């Protein structure tokens, strides 16, 4: 599969490439865009490889209109990046 114009052989590579493109990723997005149902495992392995992957707790609505909580993951290098993602998610 190609993510941001780069051919990825594994789902781990695809998630990393997607995040390197400046995108955050939830479990639902990971399934839709990459086809993985194991985002938590991929994030765990990427963190083990030394990538600074942060997460933000978000709230939204499910298809029935109920309020739900979920996590978005992203690569971040600075506090400003973390704050910006938090504002986009909950602001």
* Cα 86 to the center of its chain, rounded Å: 13
> Which tops the pLDDT comparison, 77 or 91?
77
Q: What are 30-72's pLDDT values in tens digits? A: 999 999 999 999 999 999 999 999 999 999 999 999 999 999 9
| Count of other CB atoms within 10 angstroms of residue 6 | 14
Distance between CA atoms of residues 53 and 15, nearest Å: 11
Computed on alpha carbons and rounded to an integer, the radius of gyration of the chain in Å comes to: 13
> Which tops the pLDDT comparison, 14 or 81?
14
pLDDT at residue 90 is higher than 70: no
Mean pLDDT of the chain: 87
Q: According to the model, what pLDDT value does residue 2 have?
A: 78
Provide mean pLDDT across the span 6-27.
92
């Amino acid at each position: 599969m190609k993510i941001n114009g780069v051919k990825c052989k594994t789902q781990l590579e695809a998630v990393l490439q997607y995040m390197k493109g400046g995108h955050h990723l939830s479990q639902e997005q990971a399934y839709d865009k990459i086809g993985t149902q194991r985002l938590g495992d991929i994030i765990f392995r990427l963190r083990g490889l030394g990538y600074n992957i942060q997460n933000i707790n978000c709230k939204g609505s499910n298809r029935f209109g109920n309020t739900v909580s979920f996590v978005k993951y992203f690569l971040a290098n600075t506090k400003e990046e973390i704050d910006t993602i938090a504002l986009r998610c909950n602001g």
